[in-house]
Amino acid sequence: MKMASMLLRSVRSSTLSPSWAAHSAARVLSSTAPLHAQAQTKSKKTLARPGVKNIVLVEGVRTPFLMSGTAYADMMPHDLARAALQGLLNKTGIPKDSVDYIIYGTVIQEVKTSNVAREAALGAGFSDKIPAHTVTMACISSNQAMTSAVGLIAAGQCDAVVAGGVEFMSDVPIRHSRKMRKTMLSLNKAKTLGQRLSLLGGIRLAHLSPELPAVAEFSTAETMGHSADRLAAAFGVSRLEQDEFALRSHTLAKKAQDGGLLQDVLSFKVPGESTCLSPWAAGTEKMAVTHLVVSGRDIVSKDNGIRPSSLEQMSKLKPAFIKPHGTVTAANSSFLTDGASAVLIMSEEKALAMGFKPKAYLRDFVYVSQDPKDQLLLGPTYGTPKVLERAGLTMNDIDVFEFHEAFAGQIMANLKAMDSDWFAQTYMGRKTKVGTPPMDKFNLWGGSLSLGHPFGATGCRLVTTVAHRLQKEGGQYGLVAACAAGGQGHAMVVEAYPQ
């Protein structure tokens, strides 16, 4: 709390005005030009380096991101990952035996398919000779999958790697209590009826209490929502600013969806047949419950969490974590999401030899880590200046920014930290601030608050969106940044491939 009070005193004098969100949102939303700009290649230096292999993003796809408990409810994680892999194969036409390795990121693992990369790959028809492994790094798990792919190619181990991520929040593993698990394991080993009866007689009602997946940081015992609320308070981010930013995200996502800009979204036939309930929330009021009849012929083709509302409706929601005075609500937080993503990453030489037209170069990247108590969600603030320095760029060189939106308060706190000389000097060992991204370049097709956030899959969405926006807007450099549980973060520079 000491850091929080120091931050609040400092940031109150920050160059960002309290009405920053309102002014920036109005500026961006007042024009659709950024969404429809024609590609005009800019003449900046390339980040290619002599003797360093160029690594390219050939294509990226994802299943529609759906609110958990809706159309994907009766599936399993590897089903979604398989759909993303098959969609990538269909879109690229790459022969399955031309892929050297497959890597997937996920956070809450299904125990039956703990190496979901392998199960999804086999289900998608890839050869059983292609190795596959699964990584986990909280919300930057598919970021790690992609950079692991980059490492394999840079080292000369592979020429073509598929990376991706999946998360399935509709059916998370729930365990028996530890005492019950110990009893059941002992029962399995018991050799006589007497031993079994003795163990059964020791079972108490309390043993039957289920053990839900952890929703809190193990090291701090604090949920991410609580951390976001405290961070927003430390940086003086108001409830109004958070609601305005969330509304901006949903409004821009709707424009991008309606304008056909979300090219990475696959149409997906949901297998099986079931009826599920969709608790559709618009701002503050739960609308009539929607019954979704899902059959093998029904096709899901759009993200279903995009819901532009009004500030008036959003203001009626009660705090979700710190009650009654918190500012983080369901309306300005990302929602529990099911979804999967996949990208094809290759050496430029191999991609061109196979006749592919790459979308972008994957350039410098960094991972950062800091105090998980007071600075859990500040990954973008720490990662951005480091990756820019590695690439020899400044904020002014970046044409497209795509930051992960876990909470509106988290995004706003990062923007204020990035604009604070005091924070840079006190906590980052830097002489000056890195500065804030211009909002007319920032998350212009929506973000995790509106599109959804399947933990393990978001990183691939961010990188693919940067590549598509660079093509659409005629920019050369894009910057991806994200925070993650454990106080970690990731940042990457993406360079447009020549048109």
The residues carrying an active-site annotation are: 139, 483
Alpha carbons 254 and 258: distance in angstroms, whole number? 6
Which residues are paired to 343 by β-bridges?
60, 163
How many residues belong to the chain? 499
The torsion of the CA quartet 292, 279, 167, 361, rounded to 10 degrees, works out to: 90
- Here the tokens at position 89 are 């194969």
Q: Which residues contact 186 (CB under 8 A, 6 or more apart)?
A: 199
Write the DSSP string, 351-384. HHHTT---SEEEEEEEEEE--TTTSTT-HHHHHH
Alpha carbons 394 and 388: distance in angstroms, whole number? 6
Angstrom CA distances, 432 to 237, 421, 425, stand at 22, 5, 7
Alpha carbons 339 and 165: distance in angstroms, whole number? 8
Alpha carbons 113 and 116: distance in angstroms, whole number? 5
Where is 199: in which H helix or E strand?
Answer: helix 193-201
| Residue 468: φ, ψ to 5° | -70, -40
| Residue 431: φ, ψ to 5° | -75, -35
Spatial contact of 119 and 113, defined as CB atoms under 8 Å apart: yes
| Residue 127: φ, ψ to 5° | -60, 145
Helix axes 239-258, 408-418, angle to 10 degrees: 110
DSSP annotation of 63? P
Alpha carbons 222 and 216: distance in angstroms, whole number? 5
